Amino acid sequence: MIEISQLYKKFGKNEVLKGVDLEIQEGKIVAVLGPNGSGKTTIIKSILGMVVPNNGDIKLNGESILKKWRYRDSIDYLPQIANFPHNLTVKELIGMIKDLRKQKKAEDTPLIKLFKLEPFLNKKLGTLSGGTKQKVNILLTFMFNSPLIILDEPTSGLDPISLLRLKELINSEKKKGKTIVITSHIMSFVEEVAEEIVFLLEGKIYFNGTISELKKKTEQPDFEHAIASILTQSYA
């Protein structure tokens, strides 16, 4: 589904990605992990075309996406920080995003029910709490039926029930055969949801495989310790 080859990106003097090669197969849930500043968000944003890479190529279904924009119609993206225009109401925002992606069919009502957003529909976005904003954010991401879903820190600010709903949502999307890319710092969430792990370290891929492979490689009994052992080794 996604092929990334020799991806390089510099921000000023700061080299964030130093030759990333990555292939994400269709129908998989892949978690991109790594310490702060390892380039997780940069990879995701390169796929979305928000960051322009210095070198390398990204292909979606065999076609290069660099300098194009129509391909984004097949991606649903959940950004890390949800900050919307303050003067719009939730309903208007949903209407607006629907309007911007007119050619797609949007199913927002079941999601509004799932996250209990009905009482907020006519409230202005500026007045919502962080968690509610994140719910709106999730709603905007999942209401389109795109084959590729990218989630950047989807759990931030969510209460336990909503977190549970989110997991259910991800699982049901997976059953539809969708490809899902996630970044998260919550290891239990990753362990529960992801099938494959991509571990980034200093702009390169350190590990790419399943969770059990990672445990074997690091000789650790559980996932959290496996990640911790990579980090202590690399910092030591």
Partner 1 sequence: MLKILKYSFYDLMRSRWSYVYFVFYLLLGFVLLFLNNNVSKAVITLMNVIIILTPLIGTIFGVMYYYNSKEFTGLLLAQPIKRSTIFLGQYFGVALSLSMSLVVGLGIPFIAYGIFMSDAIWDFGLLLVTGAFLTFIFTALSFNIALRNENRIKGFGYAILLWLFMAVIYDGIFLMSLMIFEDYPLDTFSLSATMFNPIDLSRVLILLKLDISALMGYTGAIFQKFFGTNFGMFLSIGVLALWVLIPVWFIRRVARRKDF
Q: Give residues in contact with partner 1 (CB under 8 A).
A: 11, 45, 48-52, 69-73, 75, 77, 79, 81-88, 96-97, 99-101, 140
Q: Which amino acid is at 168?
A: E
**Could you please report the per-residue DSSP string of 43-85?**
HHHHHHTSS--SEEEEEETTEE-TT--GGGGGEEEE-SS----
> Using CA atoms, how far apart are residues 82 and 68, in angstroms rounded to an integer?
25
Min dist CB 177 to partner 1, Å, is: 21
CA distance 179 to 69: 19
Packed helices 211-218 and 223-235: angle between N→C axes, nearest 10 degrees: 50
We find the least distance from the C-beta atom of residue 128 to partner 1, in angstroms, to be 14
> Smallest distance, Å, CB 53 to partner 1?
9
The nearer residue to partner 1, 49 or 206, going by C-beta atoms, is 49
Compare residues 77 and 207 and give the one whose CB is closer to partner 1: 77
CB nearer partner 1, residue 45 or residue 211: 45
CB of 217 to partner 1, least distance (A): 33
3-state secondary structure (DSSP) of residue 134: helix
Nearer CB in complex with partner 1: 31/75: 75
Q: Do 58 and 65 touch, CB atoms closer than 8 A? A: yes
> From the CB of 155, what's the least distance to partner 1, in Å?
18
Nearer to partner 1, 75 or 182 (CB): 75
As given in the structure block, the two tokens for residue 171 are: 């699982």
Q: Kindly tell me which of 102 and 175 has the beta carbon lying closer to partner 1.
A: 102
How far apart are the C-alpha atoms of 207 and 230, rounded to whole Å? 10
Choose among 195, 200, 122, 115: nearest CA to 157: 115
Question: Least distance to partner 1 from the beta carbon of 99, Å?
Answer: 6
